[in-house]
Structure 1
Amino acid sequence: MHDFGLPILATLALWWGSTGIIFYVDSLPRNTFRYTMIAATALVGLALWGLVATSDHLTASSAYGAFSYGLICWGWQILSFYMGYITGPQRQPCPPELRGLGRFIEGVRTSLYHELFALIGAVVLLALTHNQPNQLGFWTYATLWWMHESAKLNVFFGVPNLGEEMIPEHLRYLATYMTRRPMNMFFPISVTISTVITVWLAWAATAATTAFEATGYTMLGTLMALAVAEHWFLVAPLNANALWGQMGRRQDDFSGLIEGEMIALENFAERDESWIAPLPQICEARHLAQLLELVAAGAFGEVDEVKGAMRTRAHWIAFEINGSRARMTPFTPRRPQEPRIVAIGRHLDRDRLLAAIENCAA
């Protein structure tokens, strides 16, 4: 009788720990990214050497080793993406008017180079273990790749929990390619595929005749079970990102800064030439962007400063006008709040501005 407990615990620990480390190092100041990537690349070199060294070994320890090496190789891919080194040619927010295929193409372009590097990585791992009995490292990498791609497609097509608060500030534009909705047609397909694979791997682990097979199938099955759980977290009323605590603390700081500035401006906006107004519960981003350009150009009076928060169908957006410059940035509120706008200026045409704001409703 094989021991399945240790492979399950090892998989959970490696998955949770590696994800937490990536969140943590990506939350550090950007001037540390270069050194992190150098260290990660050196670690991948060691992992590739270990993968080759264990490719003809069929023991339980070689299964643990190959799984870890595949995990390290995939971790490098994710790290290079979230640190902004290997992303894609599109690094701007999604144009509000884009819909359908055009929006999908632009979404692909945000991570095109990353996808190509992920494919190259899979080919390298497969080539290094070609015709060898131990290919667990490649299958670990492939499983993590599937988890990543399936989750990306689901947040693009639409789910309730986007997890945008974990996106690094330098990649905040990615949130504009996400969609918040109760469900999408791809979700049940992706969950079903992952569930079927998980069940098959569990059966293979129980039917294994060697310790290597039992360990390998158990670790892959646990990884696929995590994929199923992650998919359900996308639609369940739970915050799965709390599993990593404060490891991604920079995003909380970013959201807190925006909300803190708004509160400070509201406290200042008690003079006669200041104005606070609610926004529609759901706004169209492109309509608000056009309105902000008009406000910045002085179409509604002399404006010194404008700040606010709006909710679109996909996410929250913080916006501001400072001087003649308007800016919109996706963000995640730290506390419950209502969509609103705060304006500081002189001779504001409040009636026209209010009517224009009401026209921003989705």
Structure 2
Amino acid sequence: MHDFGLPILATLALWWGSTGIIFYLDSLPAKTFPYTMGAATLLVAAALWGLVATSDHLSVGSAYGAFSYGLICWGWQIMSFYMGYITGPQRDPCPPELRGLARFIAGARTGLYHELFALIGAVILLALTHNQPNQLGFWTYATLWWMHTSAKLNVFFGVPNLGEEMIPDHLRYLASYMTRRPMNMFFPFSVTISTVITVWLIWAANDATTPFEATGYTMLGTLMALAVAEHWFLVAPLNANALWGPISRREDFSGLIEGELVALENFAEREESWTARLPNICDARHVAQVLELVAAGAFGEVEEVKGAMRTRAHWIAFEISGSRARMTPFTPRRPQEPRIIAVGRHLDRDRLLAAIENCAA
């Protein structure tokens, strides 16, 4: 009888810990990024050496090692993207008029270089372990790549929980390519594919004939199970990003939600404030684009913006503080009126009102 408990716990710990560390490092000042990426690159070089060294070993220890090396290699890819080093040629918010294929192409261009580097990384890992019995590092990397790509496609096509609060300031334009809606046609296929692969890996682990196979299949199966859970977190009324709350330094955007817009009444009394009622049902993607433009100064010198809107899925609270726009879903405990309040100087109120009215779903 094989031991499945330790591989499962190890996978959970490595996945949670590595993700939290990346969130933490990415939330540090930008001046630390070159040192972080330099250290990560050295770590990847050591991981690649480790993959080669363990590629012909079929022990339980080599399974843990190969899994960790694949995780490190993928972590480098994610850090290079979220720190802004390897992203894509498109670095501007999505133009509101883009629809269909044109919008998809623009969205793909935001991460084009990242995807190319991810492919190059996969080829390198596969080449280093070619014709060797231990290819767990490559399959770990490939599984994480699938998890990330599938999640990105789902937030592009539309899900309730976008997790845009975790996007760093220098990549805020990515939020304009996300879509908030109850469901999309790609979601059932992506979650079904991940579930089928998970079941097959669990079956393979249970049917394994060696401790190495049992450990490897269990770790990959656990990773795919996490992929399934991440997919459901995109549509469930839960904040999965709270899992990394103790590690991440990102500011918690909850004050407006907990106050249920009560603070807006005092906020509106400030000098040079402007308020307007929002359409009864808004398109969250259009509102996100307007907020990005407001934050960039397209409608005047805006100091702060607060508000709440309704979509077909749920209520969303939003705010702009400094140059950062943030949105998050919430459930009001009393009747609310969708509205926006802005404070600033030389506000172009007519253009801002027209942009808001165009956000109707």
Q: TM-score, normalised by structure 1?
A: 0.83
Match of 1:34 in 2: 34
What letter matches 1:176 in structure 2? Answer: S
Cα gap change, 1:307/1:240 in structure 2, threshold over 3 Å: closer, same or farther? closer
Q: For structure 1, which runs of at least 5 residues remain unmatched after alignment? A: 298-302
Contact 2:264 2:341 in 1 (8 A): yes
Contact 2:50 2:66 in 1 (8 A): yes
Give me the identity figure in percent: 79
Equivalences, count = 349
Match of 1:340 in 2: 339
- Which aligned pairs between 1:70-85 and structure 2 lie closer than 5 A? 70-85=70-85
Q: Distance in 2 between matches of 1:129 and 1:244?
A: 33
| C-alpha deviation, 1:207, in angstroms | 0.9
Q: Distance in 2 between matches of 1:347 and 1:135?
A: 61
SS at match of 1:162: coil
RMSD: 3.9
Match of 1:111 in 2: 111
Q: Distance in 2 between matches of 1:347 and 1:142?
A: 51
Match of 2:211 in 1: 211
What letter matches 1:243 in structure 2? Answer: L
Match of 2:139 in 1: 139
What letter matches 2:35 in structure 1? Answer: Y
Segments of 4+ in structure 1 off by > 6 A? 262-266, 303-306, 333-337, 344-356
- Which aligned pairs between 1:1-362 and structure 2 lie closer than 5 A? 1-252=1-252, 267=266, 270=269, 275-283=274-282, 285=286, 296=299, 307-309=305-307, 311=309, 318=319, 329-332=325-328, 339-342=338-341, 360-362=359-361
Contact 2:233 2:239 in 1 (8 A): yes
Instruction: Tell which deviates more after alignment, 186-195 or 332-341.
Output: 332-341
Q: Distance in 2 between matches of 1:205 and 1:304?
A: 57
Q: Distance in 2 between matches of 1:265 and 1:7?
A: 50
Q: Distance in 2 between matches of 1:66 and 1:282?
A: 50
Instruction: Tell which deviates more after alignment, 344-353 or 193-202.
Output: 344-353
Cα gap change, 1:76/1:194 in structure 2, threshold over 3 Å: closer, same or farther? same
What letter matches 2:157 in structure 1? Answer: F
Cα gap change, 1:122/1:357 in structure 2, threshold over 3 Å: closer, same or farther? closer
Contact 1:252 1:334 in 2 (8 A): no
Cα gap change, 1:151/1:263 in structure 2, threshold over 3 Å: closer, same or farther? same
Match of 1:300 in 2: none
Q: Distance in 2 between matches of 1:156 and 1:348?
A: 31
SS at match of 1:68: helix
Q: Distance in 2 between matches of 1:347 and 1:23?
A: 37
| C-alpha deviation, 1:143, in angstroms | 0.5
| C-alpha deviation, 1:252, in angstroms | 3.0
Cα gap change, 1:15/1:328 in structure 2, threshold over 3 Å: closer, same or farther? closer
Q: For structure 2, which runs of at least 5 residues remain unmatched after alignment? A: none
| C-alpha deviation, 1:61, in angstroms | 0.3
SS at match of 2:340: strand
Q: Distance in 2 between matches of 1:52 and 1:352?
A: 60
What letter matches 1:280 in structure 2? Answer: P
